[in-house]
Amino acid sequence: METTSKKSFITRDIMKNSILGAFKKFNPVYMIKNPVMFVVEIGFIFVLMLTIFPTLLDNGVGGHDRLYNAIVAFVLFITILFANFAESIAEGRGKAQVQTLKKTKTVTQACVLLPDGSEVVKQAHELIKGDIVLVQAGEVVPNDGEVIEGIATVDESAITGESAPVVKERGGDFSSVTGGTIVTSDWLKIEITSLPGESFLDKMISLIEGASRKKTPNEIALNTLLVSLTIIFLLVVVTLYPMTTYLNVHIPVATLIALTVCLIPTTIGGLLSAIGIAGMDRVTQFNVIAMSGRAVEACGDVDTLILDKTGTITYGNRMATEFSPVKGVDQKELIRTGWLSSLTDDTPEGKSILSLACKLNVDTADEKMIKDTSEHISFTAQTRMSGIDMQDGTKIRKGAYDTIKKASLAAGHVIPKDLEQIVREVSSLGGTPLVVAKNNKILGVIYLKDIVKSGLKERFEQLRAMGIKTIMCTGDNPLTAASIAKEAGVDGFIAESKPEDKIKVIKDEQALGKIVAMTGDGTNDAPALAQANVGLAMNSGTNAAKEAANMVDLDSNPTKIIEVVEIGKQLLMTRGALTTFSIANDVAKYFAIIPAMLMGAVPEMKSLNIMMLNTPTSAIISALIFNAIIIPMLIPIAMKGVKYKPMSAAKLLSKNLLIYGLGGIIAPFIGIKLIDLIIGPILHIIGL
């Protein structure tokens, strides 16, 4: 699936639907959910009534004020429309993905296996939890479930965007299947684990559409602040009217409403919901489904990151990195023997030995002949060695140190004196020593290493710069764990860890007031995923893990938790930056409207007209227009997010105050003045 950067910001369909949605959101029942914009709508309705019924307040309003009221009403209408449009754009991008997901929800028939061994065909929506269904190659999985028998490849591209089928089988961490995916080979018996309408796919669609989106704690706190500021400025304006009347200063009601709209935080009020929706959308663009906005927001506050070693920090497959011959053995002979021992070995370790030997220029001319004439000896838990028996009677083996040593002694060979030292050195580096023998004579050691993923060390440095501590969990012994931890650059590690150890470290960190994130995919990870503030489960993992987590990675890439944390940070930073900009905007607008309102009655107020605006009317309308058009101008920032760079909270605050605080003060001075220069002459012509 494409990343965010490759996707169009707004398509034609999204634009069309967003415009329609913006008008639909004028419904007061919907608008009351956003108190700031609801106040603007009430003001719009009131000014509109004054325009239609000029004598409503019986204050002698004439045609002159009627035209002024109409202009103010129109600008207020545009302000609300732009705020609704911002939210509709954010929702539209999510709904575009929903349409793709809904295409996978086809009417599917399922072959249900009854307890007596008979079969019955049901529609997918008729299935209940506990039903056993048989799905064969080419058929669609009717609903979420667990594989109880069989092994097959499943095409999950409709959900994950990845074209490569995934092998599913009973047990382990790849036993769960998702409704709407397609079995591409063999067959599977599946036990249904969810009811129709409650599948993972249904939850994804509901969440992306925003039907389940609830305001997060930070969003609620900010909304409370905005409502408080709105109430304060409403009280200020309400008390201003009798005061000016007492001073015999006539201020039109439309002007007072315009003052209210310009003073209350309409900019962030119009963008707040869009920022939250866009934050979840950005996570979705990374192919991660957040079960709630709270989960995305929690990512921005993460202090500690718990990561599994295998598959997350390392590739999980041990790779050959070095051939170390014992004293008296030529390295070329060891390389050739190691290559022979792996010719028929299809394991990742065996393939890596062949690859390393080829890089070291091993002679491969007789490869086909040896394969055709030799007998493959497979690795077993009992023998702990593998290799080949060649046609000429030569026996090539590679395996564990103690096993090969025992076989060599039994054959009457002397164990090389430096063998134990080589094995100890490899082990101390966190590697696996694989001893190679020819006819039970030990030739040397192959160094197998669990390779740390490239670029991870730099990523962990970035996390450290954000103030996030990384802890690696592994079942390896302390020596190996320490070596991997040092190479990867994590801050700490837990060796020989068990599921209860993960829960303990999470609880210990949380007891210190830390926000903890972790990844997992197995049933044994479910308790820890549930305990963590941010739990990222792999889509390829078990249903238990996905149910326990509050995020699911459709690509099953454990390292993606790092990107998700950065998106959470970006969400909080975007909200903070635009709030700073909005409040700073309001400060600047005071200098446009307050002098314009009062300088007719109080000449000394002219000294505050530092923008040198044309007339009081043009000043008020210019400020109102600027207040409206700044909302759509900030939509791209709200949608894409403020660019995030790892830095301390103090530096981040200073940067926001400098860019968005200072910028928020300067922008209205420039914008309002430019608008005044344009509309001033027009208002003069029409007599305002």
pLDDT greater than 80 at residue 335: yes
pLDDT at 102: 60
**Mean pLDDT: which of 98-107, 277-286, 302-311, 352-361 is highest?**
352-361
pLDDT at 368: 87
Note the pLDDT tens digit of each residue in 394-403. 999 999 898 9
Answer yes or no: is 380 a known binding residue.
yes
Distance of alpha carbon 676 from alpha carbon 621, whole angstroms: 8
Q: How far is CA 131 from CA 80, 122, 142, 149, in A?
A: 51, 11, 11, 14
Give the side-chain half-sphere CA count within 13 A for 572: 22
pLDDT at 1: 36
Here the tokens at position 574 are 């975007």
Q: CB–CB of 506/305 below 8 Å?
A: no
What's the DSSP call for residue 672? Answer: H
Question: Among the residues of 170-216, which ranges form H helices?
Answer: 200-209
Higher pLDDT, 298 or 676: 676
pLDDT greater than 60 at residue 60: no
Here the tokens at position 150 are 């069989």
- Least Cα distance to 90 among 283, 272, 281 occurs for 281
- Least Cα distance to 625 among 663, 589, 587 occurs for 589
**Phi, psi at 615, each rounded to 5°:** -140, 165
pTM: 0.66
pLDDT greater than 70 at residue 43: yes
Answer yes or no: is 497 a known binding residue.
no
Give the side-chain half-sphere CA count within 13 A for 559: 18
State mean pLDDT over 294-307.
Answer: 84
pLDDT greater than 90 at residue 283: no
Higher pLDDT, 677 or 194: 677
Positions annotated as catalytic residues are 308
Answer yes or no: is 525 a known binding residue.
yes
- Least Cα distance to 157 among 95, 110, 104 occurs for 104
pLDDT at 307: 84
Answer yes or no: is 6 a known binding residue.
no
Answer yes or no: is 628 a known binding residue.
no
Distance of alpha carbon 683 from alpha carbon 614, whole angstroms: 10
State mean pLDDT over 201-212.
Answer: 60
pLDDT greater than 90 at residue 330: yes
Helix-strand-coil percent breakdown of the chain, rounded to 5?
Answer: 55, 15, 30
Note the pLDDT tens digit of each residue in 377-425. 988 877 889 999 998 899 999 998 989 999 999 999 999 999 999 998 8
- pLDDT band of residue 277 (cuts 50, 70, 90) is confident
Here the tokens at position 506 are 């999470």
Residue for token pair 């053995």: 329
- pLDDT band of residue 103 (cuts 50, 70, 90) is low
**Measured in whole angstroms, how far is the alpha carbon of residue 520 from the centre of its chain?**
16
Q: CB–CB of 621/307 below 8 Å?
A: no
pLDDT at 163: 54
- DSSP for 620-664? HHHHHHHHHHHHHHHHHHHHH-PPP----HHHHHHHHIIIIIHHH
Mean of pLDDT over the chain: 82
Q: How far is CA 366 from CA 144, 331, 333, 370, in A?
A: 50, 20, 15, 6
pLDDT greater than 60 at residue 6: no
Distance of alpha carbon 652 from alpha carbon 650, whole angstroms: 5
Answer yes or no: is 555 a known binding residue.
no
pLDDT at 289: 78
**Measured in whole angstroms, how far is the alpha carbon of residue 158 from the centre of its chain?**
19
Note the pLDDT tens digit of each residue in 115-167. 888 888 888 778 888 889 999 888 888 888 888 888 888 887 656 555 567 78
Q: CB–CB of 160/128 below 8 Å?
A: no
Q: How far is CA 55 from CA 51, 71, 337, 434, in A?
A: 9, 17, 103, 96
What is the percent of the chain with per-residue pLDDT over 70, rounded to a whole number?
Answer: 89
Distance of alpha carbon 633 from alpha carbon 59, whole angstroms: 38
State mean pLDDT over 367-375.
Answer: 88
pLDDT greater than 60 at residue 100: no
pLDDT greater than 60 at residue 108: yes
pLDDT greater than 80 at residue 512: yes
pLDDT at 214: 59
pLDDT greater than 50 at residue 7: no
pLDDT greater than 60 at residue 340: yes
Answer yes or no: is 383 a known binding residue.
yes
pLDDT at 415: 93
Answer yes or no: is 542 a known binding residue.
no
pLDDT at 62: 43
Higher pLDDT, 520 or 444: 444
Answer yes or no: is 189 a known binding residue.
no
Domains and CATH numbers, the chain: 12-97+208-274+568-686 (no CATH), 128-195 (2.70.150.10), 288-313+453-554 (3.40.50.1000), 315-451 (3.40.1110.10)
Please tell me the total number of residues recorded for the chain in this structure: 688
Distance of alpha carbon 428 from alpha carbon 402, whole angstroms: 17
Note the pLDDT tens digit of each residue in 244-253. 777 777 778 8
Note the pLDDT tens digit of each residue in 603-641. 777 777 777 888 888 888 999 999 999 999 998 888 888
What is the percent of the chain with per-residue pLDDT over 90, rounded to a whole number?
Answer: 21
Q: What are the DSSP E strand ranges found in 162-313? A: 166-169, 176-177, 182-183, 187-192, 288-290, 304-308
Minimum mean pLDDT range among 37-41, 105-109, 433-437, 525-529: 105-109
Distance of alpha carbon 553 from alpha carbon 547, whole angstroms: 13
Distance of alpha carbon 395 from alpha carbon 386, whole angstroms: 10
